[in-house]
Amino acid sequence: MAQSLVVSQEEMDKQRQCAARVREGFPGRTYKIVTYGCQMNAHDSENLAGMLEEMGFAPAADEGEADLLLFNTCCIRDNAERRLLGNVSALAQRKREKPDLLVGVCGCMMQQEGGAQRLLDLCPFVDLVFGTHNLYRLPELLLRALRGQPVRETDGDERGCIPEGLPVRRTSAIQGALTIMYGCNNFCTYCVVPYVRGRERSRSVADVVREAESMAASGIQEILLLGQNVNSYAGGATFPELLRALDGVVPRIRFMTSHPKDLSDALIEEMAHSRSVCPQFHLPVQSGNDKVLREMNRVYTRAHYLERVRALRQAIPEVGLTTDVIAGFPGETEAEFADTLSLVEEVQYDSAFTFIYSPRRGTRAAARPDQIPEAVQHERLDRLIRVQERSTASRLAQQVGSVQEVLVEGASRRREGFLAGRTGRGMTVNFPGDAALVGKIVPVRILGTGANTLRGERA
């Protein structure tokens, strides 16, 4: 059962007082936030930016000029950590030239056991270190750093808590993320998330609906509901009930991520009848082999997963399915990997995020002696990507000739005079049109396909 531990009003007031002290005592400063990792992190950075602007900080026009550089870290795979360590250690020189530059590092890697120490061994000059459980305390921590005290806040209640009413500086005026729950209780054996994001806890329906309404009032057209496992939402209602409460607040609602073990008939039913919820489902499978799934602690079988996919497609025939897949989990044999390839082939996903297994400190799978050699992992990943490419191409091609409702997100980055937007099932469409259409939902006839996108004209 997800608990609801809201940070006390007193504590939030204290943060607002610290924010006021920063604003008055340290005016005219600029910031730059560098974000790694998932949509959760991207949204946390929007809250960090909101807090900084409340403290009078302005976004720096150029990273080189910022008075505060804040890195919001990820530790889901080794490469995210390596990039962070490389980028922060490269700042040693700049810090010597500009001693009043503040460097902060926060987020998942700083919450991870030993993560902050690995950073500080390499980069002792970092002024401000804090983990995910302390993000909302940025005003208090920044005030301390501005007064010249090094900040190292990597503890925090393992169960975590919910900060309500944080300021937010959104990066898009059209689409916005809304966190409905924090943390994860699943402990998949490869995954570090439960260790750095704490146990599941849900925001109340009232708080979620209030935030959605205020997003709608500011013109946002599409809301992405966020949680590590939205299907186990428990903020006084079930997830399908929450979707019902949000229906019609904005034209489009999406959500991620879902665990296949919790994909209920009630959710499928609600999606099929909702006006706002888009026909898109991100359903990470990770592996197509029962032994590997068991060893990953995924608690479903291949057959159960495929049955859920069938149920989804029966109720919502146009649903766009996407997934996450891991290649080269410890002990995975060639035959077991072949089961993953055949599942991906069978389901025919719109797209897939494919990963090489990366051992994470403190997780069960990392301690296994039967790690797969890197060369084998890479070769498996390549085969997986090729299978998925065929399925992406065929899913895109099936759209040609149809007319799709497209939410226009902005000018196309590739072609002058073209707009880019997404269909309900989440495919990107480029079509010629006027910038005045940005933020509107327009019907577009699909004429052709690119590698990962569709091409069309206004219908």
**Interaction site with ligand SF4 (CB under 6 A):** 184, 186-188, 191, 193-194, 228-229, 259
Q: What Cα–Cα distance (Å) separates residue 283 from each residue in 76, 259, 280?
A: 18, 7, 10
Supply 86's token pair. 């490389």
Which CB atom, from 15 or from 322, has the smaller least distance to ligand 5AD? Answer: 322
Is residue 324 within the footprint of ligand 5AD (CB under 6 A)? Answer: yes
Q: Residue 75 Cβ, how far from ligand SF4 at the closest point, in Å?
A: 12
Q: Site for ligand 5AD (CB under 6 A): which residue of 105, 129, 263, 326?
A: 326
Residue 378, classed as helix, strand or coil, is helix
Shortest distance in whole angstroms from residue 159 CB to ligand SF4: 15
Choosing among ligand 5AD, ligand SF4, none, which partner's interface includes residue 422 (Cβ < 5 to 8 Å by kind)? Answer: none
Rule CB under 6 A: is residue 284 a binding residue for ligand 5AD?
yes
Residues 360-399 that bind ligand 5AD (CB under 6 A): 360
Picked from ligand 5AD, ligand SF4, none, the partner binding residue 302 (CB below 5 to 8 A depending on kind) is: none
**Side-by-side strand order, sheet with 30-35:** 58-59, 30-35, 68-73, 102-107, 128-130, 151-153
* 288 touches ligand 5AD (CB under 6 A): no
Nearer to ligand SF4 by Cβ, of 35 and 229: the residue is 229
Annotate 170-232 with DSSP letters as a single string. Answer: -S-SSEEEEE-EE------TT--HHHHH-S-EE--HHHHHHHHHHHHHTT--EEEEE-TTGGG
228 contact choice in ligand SF4, ligand 5AD, none (CB below 5 to 8 Å, kind-dependent):
ligand SF4
DSSP string covering 222-235: EEEEE-TTGGG--S
Task: Give the helix/strand (H/E) hosting 244.
Answer: helix 239-246
- Residue 186's binding partner, choosing from ligand SF4, ligand 5AD, none, with beta-carbon cut-off 5 to 8 A by kind? ligand SF4
Question: Could you tell me what percentage of the chain is helix, strand and coil, using 3-state DSSP and rounding each to the nearest 5?
Answer: 40, 20, 35
Q: How many CB atoms lie within 10 A of CB 274?
A: 17
Closer CB to ligand SF4, 188 or 246, in the complex: 188
From the list ligand 5AD, ligand SF4, none, partner contacted by residue 357 (C-beta under 5 to 8 A by kind) = ligand 5AD
* Residue with smaller CB distance to ligand 5AD, 65 or 374: 374
Which residue carries 């910031």 as its tokens? 31
Long-range contacts of 206-213 (CB under 8 A, 24+ apart): 206/236, 207/164, 207/235, 208/178, 208/180, 208/235, 208/242, 208/245, 208/246, 209/245, 209/246, 209/249, 211/178, 212/178, 212/246, 212/249, 212/250, 213/249
Pick from ligand 5AD, ligand SF4, none: which does 355 bind, CB < 5 to 8 A by kind? ligand 5AD
Comparing CB distances to ligand 5AD, the nearer of 136 and 357 is 357
Task: State which of positions 37-96 bind ligand 5AD (CB under 6 A).
Answer: 76-77
Q: Least distance in Å: CB of 362 to ligand 5AD?
A: 11
Q: How are strands ordered across the β-sheet holding 320-327?
A: 280-282, 320-327, 351-356
Cα–Cα dist 454/458, whole Å: 13
Q: Using CB under 6 A, which of the segments 164-172, 259-267, 354-362, 384-392 binds ligand 5AD? A: 354-362
Min dist. Cβ of residue 321 to ligand SF4 (A): 17
15 binds ligand 5AD (CB under 6 A): no
77 interface partner picked from ligand SF4, ligand 5AD, none, CB below 5 to 8 A per type:
ligand 5AD
Say how many C-beta atoms besides its own lie within 10 A of residue 315's C-beta: 17
Select from ligand SF4, ligand 5AD, none the partner in contact with residue 404, using the beta carbon and a kind-dependent cut-off of 5 to 8 Å.
Answer: none
Binding site for ligand 5AD (CB under 6 A): 76-77, 190-191, 284, 286, 324, 326, 355, 357-358, 360
